[in-house]
Structure 1
Amino acid sequence: MNQPPLRFLATKNYKNLHLDEPIYLNNLNIFIGPNGSGKSNFISCLKFLKDCLTAIPDENRGVSSFEDAIAKIGGNRILDGNVASPALVEFSYCFSQISQTNNPQRDSVILDLKLYTDQQKGRASISEEYLYGGEDLYDSSNKKRTKSPFYYYKLHERELGQGVVSVYDNPDQTQTHFEPLDNIPTNSLGLFTIPVLLENSQSPPENTPVYRIRRQLSEFISKWQFYNANNMDLNQIRTAEPKLGPSDIYLSPSGYNLALVLDNLNQNIDFDESLNLAMKSIIQKTRRVRPGRTGRLSLAVEWYFEGINEPFYLNEMSDGTVRMLCWATILHSPFLPSLLVIDEPELGLHVSWMPILAEWIKKAATKTQIIITTHSPDLLDHFTDCLENVLCFYSENKTHFFIKHLSKEMLDEKLEQGWELGDLYRVGDPTVGGWPW
C-alpha cells in the first residue's frame, strides 16, 4: 500500500476534539492518550459516516439513516460544550486511491459536511455538503489548500434544499458545467440520496461524474469494520452455534458468528494454514482449530491438541485464548476490510502475547488501513520501530484535545539510551504523553 485510502480527518466544534487542521493518517495508526481524550470521538466520526451510508432508514418511525447516525454519536449534544448553540459542527474526510478515473487531477476526494446544531430545539441537520476532488488539495506540511478543486456537487450552499451537480459538456468528458438540484433533504446525506436526486436529470448517469465516485466511495466505506474488546461477548462467542448458510466473512462486533466466519474463510487454504500457525504461536501444542458441525445445520469451533483425539470447545478455553482467536481471525483474513478499527485489543491478554499481537497488526497493515487504540505499555513496546505511526491525544487546556504524531527525532536521545516506547509511556514521559496529568 502507498497512500492510505483514508488520508485525513478534520473536525470543527465537535465535542472535545480540536482538529481544525487535518489529521493525516497512515496505513497503520496507533492511538494513545488518557481516557476521555477524544480517541473514541475520533472513531465516532468514522462510524457516523459509515452509518449515514449503510444504515437502513426506519420508515415506520420516519427516521433517516443520517438521523439514526447522529443519534448514535450524541444527537444534538455533538456540539463542543464551550461553543454557544446554535452553531455549525463540521467534518471533513479525505480519500485517496478511490477514484479510478483517467484524470490525475481528481486522485483525491474530499467530503465536507457542515451540520447545523441547535441544542435548545434538540436537533442537528445538514447545513452544507460538498464533494470535490483534486491531486494535492492540501499540503501535509502547511495544511493549506494548494489547488482549485473539482466539485462533484455543492448542496445547500446558498439556500437550504438547493444545490448544483457537475455534468459533462460533451462525450470526451473533458469539460463540465453545473446543473441545478432542488428538493434536497436536510435529514439525509447527499452522498446517500444523490441517485434519487438525479432521477429526473436529463443527463444519463455516465455524463455525471458523481455517479462513479459515489459508488466507489459507498463500496469502500461500507466495508469499514469496528471492534471494541469491551464489546466482545465471550459468553456468546463460546455458546453460539450459528447456522450454516450465511456468507459472513467479517466477525460481528460481539463475535457471535465466529464459527460461521471461520467456516467461510476456511475455503481459502492459505487462511486455514495461517490461522493454525497463529494459534500454535500462542499455544504450542495446538494441532488444528476449525469449525465443526453440531447437527446438520449448526457450527461450533473445535480446537485439537497434539496427542488428544477429541476436540476442545471454546467453553473450555480461557478468555484470553478466545480473544486471541478472534483477533487472529480478523487480522489474518484474506478479505480484510477497507478500514479496520480495534479498540484496546490487549484487554484480557497475557503480556507474553503482546509481541505476537503486534506482529499480526503490522502484517495486516501492509494489506489494509488499520487504527488501533491502546493503553498498554507492553503492546506499545513492540511499536517502537514505527513511531511515525503513533498518534498521541493530548490536552493543553484540560478542555480540548489535540493530536500529535510521534517521531524518531522527538525521542532519539532516549531511544539511544535503550528506552522502548512502552517504557516512556509507563513513566508518563511528557514527549510521549498519554497520561491524564
Structure 2
Amino acid sequence: MSAIYTLSISGFKSIRKVDELKLSNLNVLIGANGAGKSNFVAYFKMLSELVEGRLQVWASIQGGADRILSYGVKETSALTTSVRFGDNGYDLKLAATVDDAFTFESEMLYFNGPYYGVTRPNLGTGHAESNLKKELKQGTSKKVASYCYDAISGWQVYHFHDTSDTAGVKRLCAVHDNEFLRMDASNLAAFLYRLQQESPEVYSQIRKTVRLAVPFFDDFVLKPVTLPTEEQQIRLLWKQHDSDYAFWPSQLSDGSIRFICLVTALLQPVPPSTIIIDEPELGLHPYAITLLGALIRSASKRTQVIISTQSVPLLNEFEIEDLIVVEREQGASVFKRLNQKAFDRWLEDYTVGELWEKNVLGGRPSR
C-alpha cells in the first residue's frame, strides 16, 4: 500500500509551515471552524491535479496564485511540499508568476536506496506543468517516478455534500463510466452496477450496510437504458421492503444518499491508495454516524484514510492516537499529534468525543 508516511507543506493557504507531519493508516482531523481542516483536504486535491498536468487550470479555478499562497504573494512567494512514501518521495517548489499563475522553481524525486543512500533525481525547473509523467516514459528514474505517481494519482478526495435536485448522483450516467467511484459519486449507479455484476459479495455487503441505517431500504434497481445513440445509461433507482416499485433517488433523504455514497466508497473492493473525506458526518443520523465510524476503522485496515470532522459521536469511534488536532496560532494552521498515554486517566471517565467537547484535547469545538 502506497501510504503517505510524512508530509511537509509551506505556503499553502492557511498552512504557513508544517514539517514532517506523520500520517498513519487512520488520520482524523479535529478543530474549530476556520482552523484549516478544509485547506488540508484541498492540498490533496491540488497535488492530484498537479501530477496529471492540470495545475494551471486548478489554480485558475481557485482564483490564481494570490488566493492559494499563504496571505498572498506579498507575504509568500512560493509554495513548497515534500511527500514521503517510505523510501520514495516527491518534492516541489511552486513560485508565483506575474500573471498570477505558477511555475516550477524545482521538482524532484526522492529515493533512499540500500546501495547509494539518498538520491534526489531532478525533474527540471521553469516549467508550467509537472514533469512527473514524462519521467515515467523517458526518464532515468522511472521506478521512483512510477511509485510516486501511482500513489498520488491513486488517492481520492471524496465530497458528497451536494445532494440537490441537480446533483450528479441523482442523474443519469454512462454505464461504462465505472472504473472508479468519482469524487462526487456522480457515477454511483454505474459503479454499483459493475459491483453487482463483478463483485456480488461486496455489493451484498454494501446493500446490507445501507439497510442498517435506512431500515425501509431493500435494494437498488440498476437497469441500463439504451439511448438512440446506442449509449447505455443508468440511474440510481431503488426499492423498499415488500414492494417492487422503483423509487427515484430524489425520494431518498439527503442523509440517506450521502450514507450510500460513503458506504460504497469505504467498502469498494479495490480502494484508492488514500481516501480523503471532509466532514463525512454531514446530515447523518446519530446511528448512521456510529456505523460510519466502524466503516472508517475497517477501511483503514485496507488503505490509508484521512477525514476531518466536528462530530462528537464520530470521534467516540476513534482512539486518541488517531487524532490530528488543527488550531490557528498567529493566523496560521498548526497540526498536532497527541500522546495516548497522556490522556489515559481522562479516558477512565470520558469518551474521546467528550474530551474534545470539554476542550481537553485542544482544537476547541464549535457550539
Q: Tell me whether the two structures share a fold, i.e. TM-score over 0.5.
A: yes
1:241 aligns with 2:172: yes
* C-alpha contact (below 8 Å) 2:41/2:278 kept by paired residues: no
| 2:118 partner letter | P
Note if 1:19 corresponds to 2:28. Answer: no
- TM-score of the pair, normalised by structure 2: 0.88
Q: Residues 165-204 of structure 1 correspond to what in structure 2 (within 5 A)?
A: 185-194=126-135, 198=138
Matching residue of 2:341: 409
Please name the residue that 1:169 is paired with.
none
Residue 113 of structure 1 is matched in structure 2 by 92
Contact 1:7 1:26 in 2 (8 A): yes
> Closer, same or farther in 2 for the Cα pair 1:44/1:307, shift >3 Å?
closer
Q: Which residue of 1 aligns with 2:263?
A: 328
RCO higher in 1 or 2 (8 Å CA, sep ≥ 6)? 2
Show structure 2 runs of 5+ residues with no match: none
Q: In 2, distance between residues paired with 1:110 and 1:410?
A: 32
The alpha-carbon deviation at position 259 of structure 1 amounts to 0.9
1:1-48 deviation line (CA, Å, top 9, x unaligned): 6xx611121122333214342111111111111222222222222222
Deviation at residue 321 of structure 1 after TM alignment: 1.2
Q: Distance in 2 between matches of 1:225 and 1:190?
A: 21
String of CA shifts for 1:222-279, please: whole Å, max 9, x gaps: 22211223345564356412233x1423332333222111111212121121112112
More displaced, 361-370 or 294-303? 294-303
Instruction: Give me the identity figure in percent.
Output: 24
Measured in 2, the distance between the counterparts of 1:282 and 1:367 equals 23
Indicate whether 1:387 and 2:320 are aligned: yes
Alignment CA distance shift 1:195-1:416 (3 Å): closer
User: Which one of 187, 198, 213 corresponds to residue 282 of structure 1?
Assistant: 213
- Matched letter for residue 67 of structure 1: Q
Local SS of the residue matching 2:174: coil
1:378 Cα deviation after fit:
1.8
Number of equivalences:
360
CA root-mean-square deviation: 2.7
Asked if the contact 2:165/2:250 (under 8 Å) is kept, the reply is: no
Distance 2:363 2:134 in 1: 43
User: Who is 1:307 aligned against?
Assistant: 242
The structure having more radius of gyration, on CA atoms, is 1
In structure 2, relative to structure 1, the CA distance for the partners of 1:304 and 1:86 (3 Å cut) is closer
Residue 215 in structure 1 maps to residue 138 in structure 2: no
- Tell me the distance in 2 between the aligned counterparts of 1:27 and 1:5: 7
Cα distance change of structure 1 residues 83 and 354 upon mapping to structure 2, 3 Å threshold: same
Question: How far, CA to CA, are the matches of 1:242 and 1:15 in structure 2?
Answer: 35
Q: What's the TM-score, normalizing by structure 1?
A: 0.75
Query: Any stretches of 5+ residues in structure 1 without a counterpart?
Result: 56-64, 97-107, 137-146, 157-184, 199-204
User: Which AA in structure 1 matches 2:265?
Assistant: I
Shift of 1:218: 2.0
Separation in 2, partners of 1:12, 1:117: 14
Cα distance in structure 2, aligned partners of 1:303 and 1:222: 32
Indicate conservation of the 8 Å contact 2:35/2:327, yes or no: yes
In the alignment, the residues of structure 2 paired with residue 371 and residue 234 of structure 1 have an alpha-carbon distance, to the nearest angstrom, of 29
In the alignment, what sits opposite 2:65? 76
Paired position in structure 1 for 2:26: 28
1:257 aligns with 2:192: no
Between the aligned partners of 1:88 and 1:236, the Cα distance in structure 2 is 36
Q: Output the amino acid matched with 1:413.
A: R
Q: 2:78 aligns with which of 70, 85, 88?
A: 88
SS in 1 for 2:51: helix
Counterpart secondary structure, 2:222? strand
Tell me the residue number matched to 1:122. Answer: 100
The equivalent of 2:120 in structure 1 is 151
SS at structure 1 position matched to 2:183:
coil
| Equivalent-residue separation in structure 1 for 2:333 and 2:177 (angstroms) | 41
Note closer, same or farther for the CA distance 1:73–1:40 as it changes in structure 2 (3 Å cut). Answer: farther
Give the counterpart of 2:280 among 320, 324, 345: 345
| Range with greater deviation from structure 2 (250-259 or 286-295) | 286-295
